[in-house]
Amino acid sequence: MKTKTFALLALPAIALLAACTSSKPTRPVAVDASKAALPTMERIALAANSCWFKSKDKDFRGYSLAPELNSFTGRPRILVVPARNPASRPLLVVQAQGNPARVETFGPMMGESHGGRIAADVNRWASGQSGCQ
Contact 115, 105 (CB under 8 A): no
Which pTM value belongs to this model? 0.73
Looking at residue 71, what is its pLDDT?
77
Domain boundaries, the chain: 52-126
Helix intervals (H) in 1-133: 2-20, 37-48, 115-126
Contact 52, 117 (CB under 8 A): no
Looking at residue 65, what is its pLDDT?
97
Q: Could you tell me which residues come within 8 angstroms of residue 119 by beta carbon, excluding any fewer than 6 positions away?
A: 105, 110
Among the listed residues 130, 112, 113, the one whose alpha carbon sits nearest the alpha carbon of residue 121:
130
Q: What is the mean pLDDT of each run of 10 residues along the chain (133 residues)?
A: 53 52 48 79 97 94 95 91 94 96 97 96 94 88
Looking at residue 42, what is its pLDDT?
96
Looking at residue 130, what is its pLDDT?
86
> Terminus-to-terminus CA distance in the chain, angstroms?
83
